[in-house]
């Protein structure tokens, strides 16, 4: 479940997602382990990639950008399934 507003307007607080364990590309929305707290997951857009790290950014201006190890990326968000009125492939 998406918590917070940093990915608006693409994703909203309370949206539910399905993610697939496929390699991330620049521009993809991904689910990753939070580098500040490994027990939390975050949802961000891939701003840049190199062979070891990824820079993840929010869609909403003024929110954080985080650098993570590529291994922290759990997968690409592929489907928003809740609420049903916002059902969409991502």
**Spatial contact of 82 and 16, defined as CB atoms under 8 Å apart:** yes
Structural domains of the chain, ranges and CATH numbers in brackets: 16-83 (2.10.109.10)
pLDDT digit string (tens) for 46-85?
999 999 999 999 999 999 899 999 999 999 999 999 999 9
Q: Is the pLDDT of residue 1 over 90?
A: no
Q: 6: Cβ–Cβ under 8 A, 6 or more apart, which residues?
A: 44, 58, 59, 60, 63, 64
Pairwise pLDDT comparison (22 vs 38), residue with the higher score: 22
Which SS3 state, helix, strand or coil, does residue 70 take? helix
Q: Are strands 65-69 and 73-82 parallel, antiparallel or unpaired?
A: unpaired
Position 38 confidence tier, pLDDT thresholds 50, 70, 90: confident
Q: Which of 73, 77, 90 is nearest to 32 (CA)?
A: 73
Q: State what percent of residues in the chain have pLDDT above 70.
A: 100
């Amino acid at each position: 479940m998406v918590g917070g507003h940093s990915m608006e307007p693409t994703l909203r607080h309370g949206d539910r997602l399905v993610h697939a364990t496929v390699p991330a590309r620049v521009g993809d929305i991904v689910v990753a382990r939070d580098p500040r707290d490994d027990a939390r997951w975050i949802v961000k857009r891939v701003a840049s990639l190199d062979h070891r790290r990824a820079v993840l950014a929010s869609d909403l201006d003024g929110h954080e950008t985080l650098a993570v190890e590529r291994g922290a990326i759990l997968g690409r968000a592929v489907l928003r399934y809740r609420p049903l009125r916002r059902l969409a492939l991502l």
